[in-house]
Chain A
Amino acid sequence: MKKTTIKSILLYAAALVGLAVPTACEDEITPPPEVKTFTVSVQLVYPDGFAPAADVRVVLRNIATGAVDEAFTDADGVAAFVVIAGIFEATASEERADALYRYLLNGAAGNIVVTEAWTNDPPVDITLTVTPVAKPSEGDASPYGKLVIKELYIGGCQKDDGSGAFQRDPYIVLYNNSTQPAALEGVAFSTCFAHNAHGTNYFFVDNALIYAADNWLPASYGAWYIPGRDTLAPGEQIVIAMNAAIDHTGVYSNSINFASPDYYVAYHPESGYSNTTYHPAPSEVIPTSHYLRAIRLAGVTANAWTFSVNSPAFFIFLPRDNVSLIDFSAAPENIILHSSTGSASQGAIKVPRTWVIDGIEVFQEDRIADSKKRMTADIDVGYIPFTNSYGHTLYRNVDKAATEAILGNAGKIVYDYALGWEESTDPSGIDAEASIRNGAHIIYKDSNNASNDFHQRSRASLRP
C-alpha cells in the first residue's frame, strides 16, 4: 500500500514538473539573438529649381523606441544610416536664399519598415516642400511675413498647498513677426488628435498619418476663432487665455494674472463650453470684444475645452477664399471622427493645410519614445519636448541675425539668456522678453521645425 502511494506521488509530481519545466527553461537556454544591422539610404527629392546639396541634416527616428539618429547628405542629396530592424520616420529641413526670398525646405517620410526583407533599394525618398519667405525690403528687418505662435503655456504650475498642479491657466501668445500689420479677424486655433502625442492615435494607421497625403489637419473637437476686427502691428502680440481668464495669483501664486484689458479669452458659454470651473466668467476688465467664439462640433460632450497639458499639436489657421468657418465645420463632409467606439464625441474639422498659419508639435519629455507626430512636415517637421506642472512654457527662439539687423535695436538687446530649462534654451542667447521690455523689436525664428524654432522656458513670460 505504501509503495503504491509513493509511486503515485512520484508519478503525479513528475507529470506536474513536466508541465511546468518547458516554460521555465526556455529563457535560460535561448542564446542571445545576433544583432543584425541594415543600411537605410534617404534621398532628398527637391522641388523644381532646387538642386540636391551636400551636408543637409537628415534625422531618422525609430517610432517604437523614440531613438533618434542623424546623418548628412552627400552631393547627390543622399544620407545613409545604419540601423537595426524597426519602423522609422525620416525628416529633413534646409534653408536657402536668393536675392528676394528665403526658401524653407521641409520634408518627411514615414512608415519605413526595416525587416529581414529590407534591401535598401530604392532608397527612401523625402519629398521636400518649399515655403518661400520674402526678404525684407530695405529698412525693413523681418524676413517673415505672418503671425507666429510665440509662446504656448500649457503645463500649469504647482499649487500653494502642495496638492499638485494647477492646470486651468493655459495661454498662447500670437505675435506679428512680419513687417506688415496682421488682421486678426477670423484667426482660429485648435489642436490635432491625438490629444496627447503618446495617446492612441486613430489617425496613425500603418505607421503613417492618414492625412499626410491629403491636404488637411484635424482640428479636434472644433476650434476657437477671433471674431473682432483687431489688427496686430509688427512686433505686437496678443495673449489668449484658453480657460480661466482671471487673476489666479491670489490663490495660486505660481500662476498667471490674466486680469488685463489687453488680453483675449476663449470664453463662449453658449457654445456648450459652459463648465464654470474651466470657463468661469472672465475678469471684468477684459472687454467682451476680446471673447473668442467656439466652434464646438456635433457630438462633443465635454463642457470644457481642454488642452493637452503635456503634448499638444497646436496650430493656428485662417480660412481663405471667403469660406466661413462656421459653415465649413457644419458640413458633415468636413468632419472626421477620432474614436474606436463609434462615439461622435471625438470629432475633428478637416482644416485645409493651406489655411494653416503656424503650428507646433509638442512631445512629453519622458514619453518621447512612444509619441507620434501629428503635424505634417509642411507645418512642423520637428517637435519640442516638454515637462509639465512646474510653470514651464514653450517659447520661440529669436532669429539673432534678423533681430540684430534692426537698426533701432542697437543697445536694447539683452543677452545672456538664462531661462532655458536644462539643456533646452534659445541658441541665440538673447533674452527676448527682457529685450522687449528694453524697447527692442524681436524677430523670431520660423523654419517650420519646432525642434529648431522653440525651446522650453522655465518660467512663463507673463509671470513677473
Chain B
Amino acid sequence: MVIPLHPISKNERTTLKNTRLIIIGLLLLAPGASRAAAPVLRGTVIDARTQSPVPGAAVAVGAGERWTVTDDAGVFRLPNMAPGAVRITVACLGYVKKTVDAVVADTLPEVVVALEQDNLRLADVVITAQPDRDGATSSYIIDRASLEHLQMLNIADALSLLPGAQTNHTQHLATNGAQHLAVRSNIASEDGNPTFGTGIEVDGVRLAHNATFNADGETRLYGVDTRTVATANVASIEVVTGIPSVQYGDLTNGLVKVQTISGASPLQATAATKPHTRHAALGKGFALGRRGGVLNVSAEHTLSIADPASPYTSYVRNSVQGRYKNTFNKRRGRPLTLEAGVAATVGGYHSAGDPDAFVDTYTKARGNTLRAHVRAAFLPDFAWLTNLEGQFSINYADERREARTNKSNSASIAAAHGTEEGYFVATRYDTDPAAAVILIPPGYWYQTAITDSRPVTFAGHLKGYWTRRWGAVRNTLLAGVELTGERNAGAGLYYDDRRYAPSGWRPYRFAAVPTLYHTAWYVENKMRWGLGGTQWLFVAGVRGDATAVDASLYGAVAALSPRFSLRYRIIERPQAMWLRSLTLTGGWGKAVKLPSFEVLYPRASYRDLLAFAPGTMADGTSFTAYYISPHTAQHNPALRWQQSRQWEVGLEAKIGQGAVTIAYFYHLTRDPYRYTDVYTPFSYKFTGQEALEQSTIASVNRNYVIDRTTGVVTVIDRTGALPSEALAYRERRTFKSNEVMTNGTPFARQGVEWVIDFGKIPLLHTSVRFDGQYYRYRSLDETLLAYSPTAQTMADGNPYKYVGYYVGGSSSGGAAVSNGRETRRLTANLTVTTHLPAIRLILSLRVESTLYNYSRYLSAYSGGGRGFAVEHETDNFPSGNPATDNTDRYVVVYPLYYSSYDDMTTLVPFAEAYAAAFAAREHDPAARALYNELSKLLLRTNTNYYFNADRLSACYSLSLSVTKELGDVATLAFSATNFTNNAQQVRSSARGTQISVYGSTYIPKFYYSLTLKVKL
C-alpha cells in the first residue's frame, strides 16, 4: 500500500546530489546534526474482516527506529516525522504482519492499516523459511504457520526449513547427551566447535553456555542444550546465517533468535503425539484493562521416550512462561514500553525404572532452566536520541547429572584422590577419610556420581538509536554497551559416599571458579537511501569485547570485531511482467567467540602411577600405593580468542510470480580452540611383591609405610617383635603430560544457498519451492602435536622414552594418521504446497535429497609431505607412490621430529634418523634398538582405502504434512516423515560397497506426528 502525497522538493534533490558528502557527515558528525520541523504520522489499525479497531498493535517505522503501540481505539500517533517516504510495519498477535509504504508530508492524512487474521483462509500462507528481503545480510524467518506445520519439538527442528537443510534425524529428546544446533555447519564432525559458536536468543535473552565445563575426556566445546527451550509458545524464529549486527557478539557460527508469543489471545490448548513423544500445552494472552498491558502465560508438558518398546528412558520438559508488556505515553508520541518475562523449565533425562537395568541403577540429568528479563524501550525523540532501550536478564540452568551404578569387586581397590604430589599408601576410609589413597574393601556397593553444574549468567545492555533523515537518505546510528557476568554455582563432580569414589576422582568445585565478566561496546551506522527503484542500504559497525579473567594468568583481554554489509536494490518494478526486482547483497564481518570456563580454567589432571603392590591377602585387601603426579594445566600466553571472518554475496530477484534468492558464503574460522599436550620427564620408584618375599614379618602383622617424598617402602611389624624392613625398589623414568589450550590452524566453510519460489499455480492452488545448498568444508590442522605412548614399555622393560612431534592430527585429540577432512555436499529440497483457503487446509509434500555427498580424510603439510604410501601394510618406508591419490594404498605418517627423555630440548628430524637407524641395524645393535623403538612412533592406516575419497550416490526421502483448520476453533496437523520408509541402496565409492539408507544417518527415519490445537 503506497500513499503518494507530494512531489519531491527541490531541497530534497539537492540533498540527493550530495549523498556522498552526507554519508561521511552522518558517520562523523551525526550527533551534532540538527532537525527541521516535521509532520505527525497518524493512523488507525483495524481488523480487515470485522473492520473493528485493533488495540495493542505494534507500529514501527523503518527498521524500528521509531515506533509506538495502538491504543484501545486502534489509533497510533508518531509526531516529529521527517518528510519523505517511509515504510510502516504493523504487527499484532493473531494477525499477519503488514508493511505499508507512505510518503510523509506536512499534510499527511490518517493512515488506515487493515490487518488480516492469521489463519488458513488467507490467500498466502507460507510454511517454509522465508529469506529476509529487507536486511543487508542473509537471514531467514520461520513464522508461526511454518512452525505449526512443522510440529516442532526442539528448536533445532526449525533449522530443517533452511535452504537445503534436512529433517532433524534425532526424533526425540530422550538422548543421554545434550542436543545442539549449529548454523551452516555439519555439527557431527567439524573442527572449530560449531555448536559452541552458534548463539541462541529467546526473547532477546542469550542462552549462555560459557560457564560450563566438559565431562571428563570430552575435548570438543559445545553450545547449549536446545531441549530445554519450550516450543509451544514460540511465535517465530529468525536464523541469521550471514553477517550479524554488531549488537550480537560472542558467536562465530550464526545466530538463532526465538520470539515467543506476546499479545492478547484466547486460551489455546495443544496436544501432540509422535511415536516417541507426547506433548500438551496451554497458553493465553490476558489484556489487563485499558492501561494494564498484556500478560501472556503458557505452560507446556513434553514427554519423550527413547524406545517405544521399552518406555522407561525418558526426557521430560515442563515449562511455564509469563511475559508482561505494557506501553505508556502512547498519545504523546513518546511511548515507553516496559516488558518483563520469566520462563522456567523443569525436567530432564531419566532412565530410572527401566526393568532391563539392575535394580536401583539409573542416570538422571536435569534440564532445569530459569530465565528472567526486564526490558524498557523508550522513544524520547530528542534531537540527539531517537530511541533508547535497556535490558537486564538473568539466565540460570541446573544441569545436575546423577548416575547410580552397582559395583562389586573381589579385591580391594586403591582409589587415588590426592591432589598433592608424592607417594601415598592406600588407607581405609574409616581410618582417614581424607587420605590421598582410599582402600575400597572387597564386596558389593552402589556408586552414585553427581555432576553438579549450575551456570548462571546475568547480562545488561543499554543501547540508543539516533535516526535522521535527509531527503532520500535515512540514517540510523546505533550505539550500545553490554555487561555480562558468568559463573557456575555447581559443586562439580562428587560422589554421594566418598568411601566408594573411584580412583582418579578429585573434587573440583565449579563454584570456586571466579565470575567471568565480559564488557562490550558497539557502534553501528545504518544508512538507507534511494531514488525510484534503486535503493542502497549500507551497514557499518564495530564491536569491542573485553573479558576480565580473574585468578587466571590470562588477565584481561580484548578484541575488536568490525562488520560491514551492503544491500543494493538495482531494480524495483512491481508492475513488470518478468523481472520485478533485482537486489544485490554483500558483507564482510569478524566475530569473536569468547572462551568458556573450560578454556580459561582447565582442571588439573593427575597421573596415578602404581608405586607399590603387595600381594593380596586372604581377605582380599592389598595396601597398594600410588605415586600421584599432578599435571597443572598450562597457561598459554599466546592463546588467542577463536574468531571467524565471514564474507557473503547474494542476489535476490522477483521474477513473475516467483522469487529467487542466492547467497554465496565463505566462513573462515581462525584460531579455533584445541588442546595439545606438553611432556615433561620425571622418575618415580616402584616396589613389587618380590621385595616382600624376603620379609620375615608375617603378612597379617605388616604395616606398610611409604615415604611421601622418596617413595621408599618400609614394612613395620605391628607386634613390635621384628625390626622394620626397608624394601628394595626400582627406579622408573617416564613423562608427565600437561594439557595446554592452544589455537588450531584456520579452516574454511563455504557454500551456496538458494531458494527458488515458483509462485502459485492458481488452478491447483499449489506453489512449488526448490531450495538447496552446496556446502564445502575443509580443515587441515598443522598444529605441532607432541605424543608419546607413555603406557608403553621398551624392549628393555623400561617405560617408553621418546616423544614424537607430529604435524596436526585429530581435531578433538592428539596425533592421528589424518590431519584433516574435506566434505562437500549438495542437498536440494523440493516442497510442493497446496493451500486451499476455502476449506482452510494446507498440504505439503517435501522431497529431501542429497545429490552429492563427498568426504575424504586428508594428510597434508604446507611445509612438505605428510604421510607416504607403503607397498604393504607393515612396511615402514615409502614405496614411491603418492599417498593420497585415491588409489588403494596403505599410508604411514612419521612425526616431524622426536626427542628423548635424556634430551627434551633437541628435536631430532625423524625421517633422517629413522632411515639411518634402519640402514645400520644389521651391524649395530644400538641402531637396531633405536629403529625398533622409533618404529613405535609411526602412525599408519590399516586399510588401504582410508584416504580414498568417499562419494555416496544420491538418496532422498519423502515427507508429507497436512494442516487443517476446523473453523476458528481448532487446528489439526499431521505429518509423516520419510513415509515411503525408503530402503534404497547407495554406493560408497571408497570401497565400492552398497549401503542401505534404511536406518542410516543419510535420511530421517520414518515417523509421524499429529497435533491438535484448540482455541477456547
Contacts and interface: CB of A to CB of B under 8 A. Distances in A.
A148 B414 CA distance: 37
Interface residues of A, number: 71
A265 to B, nearest CB: 10
B876 A244 contact: no
Interface in B908-953: 929, 931-933, 935-936, 938-943, 946
B792 A298 contact: yes
Contact of A8 (B818, B834, B931, B943): B834
A89 B611 CA distance: 51
A346 interface: yes
A333 interface: yes
B633 interface: no
B838 A298 contact: no
Interface stretch (A16-24, A72-80, A430-438): A16-24
B121 to A, nearest CB: 14
Contacts of A283: 615-618
Nearest to A250: B620
A8 B765 CA distance: 7
A379 B576 CA distance: 86
B442 interface: yes
Given A247-B410, A339-B942, A299 B789 contact: yes
A202 interface: yes
Given A247-B620, A299-B789, A288 B688 contact: yes
A342 B838 contact: no
A340 B620 contact: no
A163 B764 contact: no
B442 A5 contact: no
Contacts of A301: 789, 791
Contacts of B789: 298-299, 301
B622 A161 contact: no
Given A12-B764, A270-B686, A280-B616, A342 B411 contact: no
B408 A161 contact: yes
A296 to B, nearest CB: 7
Instruction: Determine which residue in B406, B411, B816, B980 has the highest number of CB atoms from chain A within 10 A of its CB, and name it.
Output: B411
A285 B615 contact: yes
B514 interface: no
B996 interface: no
Contacts of B834: 8-9, 12
Contacts of B413: 276-277, 280
A330 B614 contact: no
B789 to A, nearest CB: 6
Interface string B823-850: 0000000000010101100010100000
A287 B410 contact: no
Interface residues on B, range: 35 or more
Contacts of A299: 789, 792, 936
Instruction: Determine which residue in B442, B839, B933 has the highest number of CB atoms from chain A within 10 A of its CB, and name it.
Output: B442
A163 B358 contact: yes
Interface stretch (A45-53, A115-123, A251-259): A251-259
A283 B410 CA distance: 12
B939 A344 contact: yes
A338 to B, nearest CB: 7
A180 to B, nearest CB: 31
Contacts of A23: 980-982
A352 interface: no
B939 A342 contact: yes
B915 to A, nearest CB: 13
A338 B610 CA distance: 30
Interface string B403-434: 00010111111100000000000000000000
Interface string B979-1005: 111100000000000000000000000
B615 A251 contact: no
Given A23-B980, A281-B622, A164 B615 contact: no
B732 interface: yes
B902 interface: no
A244 B411 contact: yes
B188 interface: no
A15 B832 CA distance: 11
B876 A251 contact: no
A272 interface: yes
A346 B941 CA distance: 11
Contact of B614 (A8, A250, A284): A284
A296 B794 CA distance: 9
A360 to B, nearest CB: 26
B160 interface: no
A354 interface: no
Contact of B795 (A276, A282, A288, A326): A326
Contacts of A4: 763, 765
B444 A342 contact: no
Given A246-B410, A277-B413, A270 B618 contact: no
A274 interface: yes
B716 interface: no
A281 B615 contact: yes
Given A163-B408, A286-B615, A336-B873, A251 B442 contact: yes
A298 B690 contact: no
B842 to A, nearest CB: 12
Contacts of A274: 610, 791
A207 interface: no
A166 interface: yes
Interface in B858-904: 873-874, 876, 891
B58 interface: no
A133 to B, nearest CB: 34
A1 interface: yes
B911 to A, nearest CB: 15
B980 A288 contact: no
A251 B408 contact: yes
A282 B615 contact: yes
Contacts of A19: 958, 980
B446 to A, nearest CB: 10
Contacts of A20: 979-980
Contacts of A213: none
Contacts of A9: 834, 836
A1 B838 contact: yes
B214 interface: no
Contacts of B931: 332
B817 A163 contact: no
Contacts of A338: 942
Contacts of A12: 764, 766, 834, 843, 845
Interface string A169-192: 000000000000000000000000
Nearest to B918: A332
Contact of B942 (A16, A202, A244, A327): A202
Contacts of B617: 283-284
B500 to A, nearest CB: 14
A284 B699 contact: yes
B701 to A, nearest CB: 13
A462 to B, nearest CB: 15
Contact of A250 (B410, B943, B981): B410
A351 interface: no
15 contacts: A8-B836, A9-B836, A16-B960, A161-B406, A161-B408, A164-B358, A244-B411, A259-B618, A276-B413, A276-B624, A281-B624, A288-B693, A330-B929, A330-B933, A341-B946
Given A161-B408, A280-B616, A336-B873, 20 more contacts: A8-B764, A8-B836, A15-B845, A19-B980, A159-B444, A161-B444, A162-B358, A166-B410, A202-B943, A247-B410, A250-B410, A251-B409, A272-B793, A281-B411, A281-B624, A283-B615, A299-B789, A299-B792, A300-B791, A344-B936
The 7 closest A-B pairs by CB, nearest first: A284-B615, A298-B936, A342-B817, A280-B411, A332-B935, A248-B410, A330-B795
Interface of B: 358, 406, 408-414, 442-444, 503, 610, 613-620, 622, 624, 686, 688-690, 692-693, 699, 732, 763-766, 789, 791-793, 795, 797, 816-818, 834, 836, 838-839, 843, 845, 873-874, 876, 891, 929, 931-933, 935-936, 938-943, 946, 958, 960, 979-982
